[in-house]
Copies of this chain bind each other. A is one copy, B any other.
Amino acid sequence: MTHEALSPELEAVVARAAAAAPVFAATGPADRARALVAVADALEEAKEHLVGIGTRETGLTEARLNGEVVRTAVQLRLFADTLVDGGYLDARIDYADDDFALGARPDIRRVHIPLGPVINFSASNFPFAFSVMGGDSASILAAGCPLIVKAHSGHPELSDATAEVAAAALTAAGMPEGVFQLIHGRQAGVDVLKDPRIKAGAFTGSIGVGRLLADIAASRPAPIPFYGELGSVNPVFITADAIAERADEIASGFVTSVAGSAGQLCTKPGFAFVAEGSVLPEAIRAAAGELAEHRLLDPRIAKSFDERRRAILAAPGVRPVIEGGVRFDEEGHGWATPTIIAVSLDDFRRGKEALVEEAFGPLSILVEVPEGTDLAALMPEFYEGNLTGTLHLSAAEATGGTENAAELRALVEALSQQVGRVLFNGWPTGVAVTPAQQHGGPWPATTNDSSTSVGTSAIKRFLRPVAYQNAPAAFLPEALRDNNPLGVPQAIAPAGESKSWGRAFQN
């Protein structure tokens, strides 16, 4: 693959981003923090206007989108604080050491710098929180990387309106021209991703498109990192004792998690494993009484969900717990009510092809397992990677003191191996935006499971380390200076310590 010339319009976009890179990288963290907060404020001020466009374009409810704007603003503000804290720079200072174990060592100091221009492919299902100014964009800008957003085709007008608000706020906050630009069209996104001036990509969407883009990023003459958050079926394991203790609570939590946002969430629980003969299906039927019809994001997603749902219902041994359905209106929009089905483990194994793939919409599958099933072994049998895995335990089981504790520990271990987040007695939807959050997981949950797209660690994706050896103070980045003008955490390795390395473990 050689680099082809961009269209004049895209060339201007990429050239502006490239020109902005050194200027943006040189802005102080407090200035970037101020700009992020300005964007947050501006989005909240424009909420009514933006949400009006969003409900029309996406079919998501006003309440949901209002909440999403707040979440988006909170994400931007969290990164403002992250920037000023400076821990994300992982600043390290090794003082020169004449007594170093391998002969005199120089002064070495290491910090993280921005990668350069990044393209972010935004998502359909979070028109604010994973779109134009969502978490990926916030972490790219926080890192000091010029951002090019490829708008999702599902909400082009909202994308333009959001971009207008954000661009004005960034400019007013003194950020250089070219730090943020919006483009439309899949081919335009691919062309930009291939450009040698682009240094990383981010993406939230389907496995198919994510893989396509990841392959493009990896096969460039100079490969770049590509952070894609793709598909997940988010298995849930519910013990018999948990059901005995609180069947109604679990049933209603499950239904809410499956039905919320019409099931169009990457963390929707796609499977729940329960004991054969459990009362959970009954409790679910009771909990599901008043479920409303919800428009799916766009006709393509609706059609695809309708097909997946039909295929699943046609698989052998499948019994509807809540039948649900999809109704198409004159504009081709699909309106869904939740579907929950039950199937025995044997039939699940037999119908694996039809059943196991993600159904993006309000549908979930109860798998009824015989007593004595090795649950830990089920995980690798059916899934590669997932964003989340959930356990519902009884109060006694949660103490780790019950007879089945070893079995439960093995299941937690198996989940840890295959997911990015292990939950207890909760539901995977509603990802908290906090410092310890991990929104990622082994392929195909993501293209890169050492990273997260939610939480403060998300900024690390767009930075790389540089060390300075024996640098005079005048030429050191501020974060590495002895007088520490930014007040960032600095990990100091003093002289003389190397001779004790490993001594505590000498035989």
Enumerate chain A interface residues (CB-CB to B < 8 A).
22, 30, 33-34, 36-38, 40-41, 67, 70-71, 74, 76-78, 80-81, 84, 87, 90, 92-94, 100-102, 105-106, 108-110, 113, 116, 214-215, 218-219, 222-223, 225, 384-385, 391, 393, 398-401, 405, 408-409, 412-413, 416-417, 419-426, 432-438, 440, 442-444, 447-450, 452, 455, 457, 460-461, 463-475, 491, 493, 498, 500-507
Contacts of A81 in B (CB 8 A): 500-502, 504
Give me 25 A-to-B residue pairs in the complex whose CB atoms sit less than 8 angstroms apart, sorted by A's number.
Answer: A33-B502, A34-B505, A38-B507, A80-B502, A81-B500, A81-B502, A94-B437, A106-B423, A108-B434, A110-B436, A218-B218, A222-B384, A222-B385, A223-B447, A399-B474, A400-B474, A405-B474, A409-B475, A412-B471, A420-B464, A423-B468, A424-B468, A426-B469, A434-B493, A457-B465
Contacts of A457 in B (CB 8 A): 90, 110, 465
Interface of A is mostly: mixed
Q: For A36, A223, A423, A432, which residue has the most chain B Cβ atoms within 10 angstroms? A: A432
Separation of A421 and B84 alpha carbons in the complex (Å):
25
Contacts of A422 in B (CB 8 A): 466-469, 471
Separation of A420 and B111 alpha carbons in the complex (Å):
10
Separation of A400 and B49 alpha carbons in the complex (Å):
52
Other-chain contact of A450, B94, B409, B438, B463 (Cβ < 8 Å):
B463
Contacts of A106 in B (CB 8 A): 423, 426, 432
A108→B505 contact, CB < 8 A: no
Other A-B pairs beyond A78-B502, A225-B450, A408-B475, 19, CB < 8 Å: A33-B504, A76-B502, A77-B503, A81-B500, A87-B491, A94-B434, A102-B433, A110-B437, A110-B438, A218-B218, A222-B442, A412-B471, A419-B466, A421-B469, A422-B468, A437-B467, A442-B464, A450-B461, A452-B465
